[in-house]
Amino acid sequence: MLAKGIRLLIDARAEGRAVPAFTTYTLESTRAICEAAQNTGLPAIISAGASSFRGVGRAPLAAAALAAAAQASVAIGVHLDHSTNPGEIAACIALGYSSVMIDGSHLPFEDNVALTRAVVEHAHARGVWVEGELAGMTGDEDASSNALAGKLTDPDQAAEFVERTGVDALAAAVGTVHGFTTTPVHVDLDRLRAIAGAVGGPLVLHGASGLGDAELAAAVAAGVAKVNVNAELRRAYLDALRAELADGGDDVPHLQHHAVAAMTQIAEAKLTTLAGTAQPDNHPPQEVSR
């Protein structure tokens, strides 16, 4: 069922868990996300950023995600990630997205407030919840890199931002970066707790790729209610295809089956970890070459 409303994250935080937002680029990844959610009985979010639309187009990818969510036996949201374009946000809301992210973190604070507030007013009038961002994330959403953590979110400024914009969830910069990196990154848990105390509402963790289960659990306990997941699924998808192609496979449905199975396994593990139903692995982040 398509999950509408911020209650999805509010309930998760109240219950000491987080909802993973898995990035989709293809029908295979959309199917894997839904199968993992149904297999575990846990809610999830299908997420697509502007870059996800480059390969197959906005409307087709959205239609597949919305149809899959509607047919699922568990609550699944459909989210627009990291959009800087109010026009793109309005188009996705019109298509039926249940939530959107306006990323004004690259702007001066006052400009970010104005942009985010305008998107919030438009989205709320249509029953859609909004995620905003402060400070910004380094790295590449669509590829691994050697990025280092940049400027971190200030708790007092975060409280002002949420109050003035009316945003429903806040993506805070607390030490992580987008994509796998060769330099280990860690969550600044003290800062995260301070932001959670100042803001009061759900927080979102971007750039969690490579974090161990114990550190993810600590971030959830500190106030994170949504965790973005991209690199792990992307790697599983590509590794499955490479392995099958290396064995001489050229049957497309066979390749798709293996890709879906690989991504489903990863998504199930992430769902159970963020729900607190898996044992922490306590492994340090791995170095991953591109």
DSSP labels, 170-192: EEE-SS--BS--SS-----HHHH
Active site residue 281: no
* Residue-wise burial string across 9-38, b where 16 or more C-beta atoms lie within 10 A, e elsewhere: bbebbeeebbbbbbbbbbbbbbbbbbbbbb
DSSP 3-state helix, strand, coil percentages of the chain (rounded to 5)?
Answer: 50, 15, 35
Question: One of 81, 103, 154, 188 is an active-site residue; which one?
Answer: 81
CA nearest neighbour of 12 among 278, 276, 281: 276
List the structure tokens of 189. Answer: 């848990």
φ, ψ of residue 114 in degrees (nearest 5) = -65, -45
Residues in the chain, total: 290
In single-letter form, the type of residue at position 119 comes to V
- Phi-psi domain of 42 (left: phi exceeds 0; alpha: psi -120 through 50; beta: other): beta
Distances (CA, A) of 146 to 105, 139, 209: 21, 7, 13
Strand 129-134 and strand 169-172: the pairing is parallel
Q: Could you give the residue numbers annotated as active site?
A: 81
